[in-house]
């Protein structure tokens, strides 16, 4: 079986885990936590970063920082993972789902303005497959109506919008290091704070509502409970594992993008014949090699393709299910149809893409897809 994903180890993970374990501090915010945060702030110019136990936690921190209250409205895509929505639902927000482009799973910003009301507080964008949303248009809307922008950049490490790193454009950003991502730590995430107004409070929320981090820096002579918060920072072992990955970021990205390009080149003819659609990368965006997908012409075709591949030992998957049609939120949704989102939910299929995918396995996958279409 050619798996959909296989976690890649660079070779330094165990060494850094050993260092972390025997450093005498494994509870978090130690040497490797700081090294990871410094890496992101230095390489991408992020104002402030904080390691978290997951991207979900980073998004929940965003909801706390933006003081989301019951009745506040948050606009976001329906075509996303449930964590994007859950982070704000937990604070009592009403989720207002926006549709995708017809040719791209990302949110169409031209559909956002009509959804803004006097209760709207936040626009959440999701850079699906690491491909940037139209951030100029979204930031214009936020400025016009006095809204905050959160970038769910779970899939978007080392990807850019007009030369600006994703996660660093909105007021806040969140990354994932789940084992299915380009750079991994098993579980793990990162909060990015781009707005100076949130820097100090983010650190307090991160440290369970205390000013503990400021105390250890010597900024205050004692620490206590000063705000709401939770235990968002990960164990030092998580950051140690991640740091080994970050040291190999360029090599990992180069290999993943090469696999992506091979898929695109070899399967382009299927799109030219109208059998499937391939990913579209707008001219303002870059490709970080996170996901390679096909968009089939029907749910029946997609189901048959996945079944055909698995019978021949190639494991492909689909996602996401539309959140506005989910069992939990269906009755809370305002009833609008989101046809483009629903189309991608029914027709998109992801092919295997991971660092150790061999040339032979890549060729087998491509040939198997081709043989399905005759």
Residue 189: HSE in the Cβ half-sphere, 13 Å Cα cutoff: 26
What tokens does 166 get? 């994703």
Task: Confirm or reject CATH 3.40.640.10 for domain 13-246, answering yes or no.
Answer: yes
Q: Determine phi and psi for 113, rounding to 5 degrees.
A: -60, -40
* Displacement of CA 270 from its chain's centroid (Å): 28
Q: How far apart are CA 253 and CA 182, in angstroms?
A: 7
CATH tag, 249-372: 3.90.1150.10
Domain regions of the chain by residue span: 13-246, 249-372
> What per-residue confidence (pLDDT) applies to 300?
98
> What per-residue confidence (pLDDT) applies to 212?
79
> What per-residue confidence (pLDDT) applies to 290?
98
Q: Determine phi and psi for 214, rounding to 5 degrees.
A: -65, -35
- DSSP H or E stretch at residue 269: helix 249-272
Contact (CB, 8 A) for 274 and 66: no
Q: How far apart are CA 196 and CA 237, in angstroms?
A: 29
| pLDDT per residue of the chain (374 residues) written in tens, 0 to 9 | 999 999 999 999 999 999 999 998 899 899 999 999 999 999 999 999 999 999 999 999 999 999 999 999 999 999 999 999 999 999 999 999 999 999 999 999 999 999 999 999 999 999 999 999 999 999 999 999 999 999 999 999 999 999 999 999 999 999 999 999 999 999 999 999 999 999 999 999 999 988 877 777 777 777 888 889 999 999 999 999 999 999 999 999 999 999 999 999 999 999 999 999 999 999 999 999 999 999 999 999 999 999 999 999 999 999 899 999 999 999 999 999 999 999 999 999 999 999 999 999 999 999 999 999 98
> What per-residue confidence (pLDDT) applies to 226?
87
Which pTM was predicted? 0.96
Per CATH, 13-246 and 249-372 having the same topology is answered no
């Amino acid at each position: 079986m050619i798996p959909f994903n296989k976690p890649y180890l660079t070779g330094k993970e165990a060494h850094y885990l050993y260092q972390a374990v025997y450093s005498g501090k494994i509870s978090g915010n130690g040497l490797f936590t700081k090294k990871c945060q410094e890496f992101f702030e230095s390489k991408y110019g992020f104002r402030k970063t904080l390691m978290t136990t997951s991207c979900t936690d980073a998004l929940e921190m965003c909801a706390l920082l933006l003081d989301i209250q019951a009745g506040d409205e948050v606009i976001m895509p329906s075509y996303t993972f449930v964590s994007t929505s859950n982070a704000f639902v937990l604070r009592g927000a009403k989720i207002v789902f926006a549709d995708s482009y017809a040719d791209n799973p990302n949110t169409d910003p031209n559909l956002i303005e009509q959804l803004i009301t006097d209760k709207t507080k936040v626009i959440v964008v999701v850079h699906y497959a690491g491909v940037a949303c139209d951030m100029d248009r979204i930031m214009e809307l936020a400025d016009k109506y006095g809204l905050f922008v959160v970038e769910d950049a779970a899939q978007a490490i080392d990807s850019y919008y007009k030369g600006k790193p994703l996660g660093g454009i909105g007021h806040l950003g969140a990354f994932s290091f789940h084992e299915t991502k380009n750079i991994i730590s098993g579980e793990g995430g990162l909060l990015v704070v781009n707005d100076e107004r949130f820097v100090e409070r983010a650190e307090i929320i991160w440290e369970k509502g205390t000013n503990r981090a400021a105390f250890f820096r010597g900024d205050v002579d004692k620490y206590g409970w000063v705000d709401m918060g939770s235990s968002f920072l990960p164990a030092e072992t998580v950051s140690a594992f991640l740091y080994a990955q970050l040291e190999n970021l360029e090599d990992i990205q180069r290999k993943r993008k090469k696999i992506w390009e091979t898929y695109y080149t070899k399967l382009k003819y299927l799109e030219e014949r109208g059998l499937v659609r391939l990913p579209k990368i707008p001219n303002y965006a870059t490709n970080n090699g996170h996901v390679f997908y096909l968009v089939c012409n029907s749910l029946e075709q997609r189901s048959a393709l996945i079944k055909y591949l698995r019978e021949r030992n190639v494991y492909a998957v689909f996602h996401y299910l539309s959140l506005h049609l989910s069992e939990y939120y269906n009755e809370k949704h305002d009833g609008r149809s989101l046809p483009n989102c629903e189309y991608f939910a029914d027709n998109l299929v992801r092919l295997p893409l991971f660092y150790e995918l061999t040339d032979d396995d890549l060729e087998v996958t491509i040939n198997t897809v081709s043989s399905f279409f005759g």
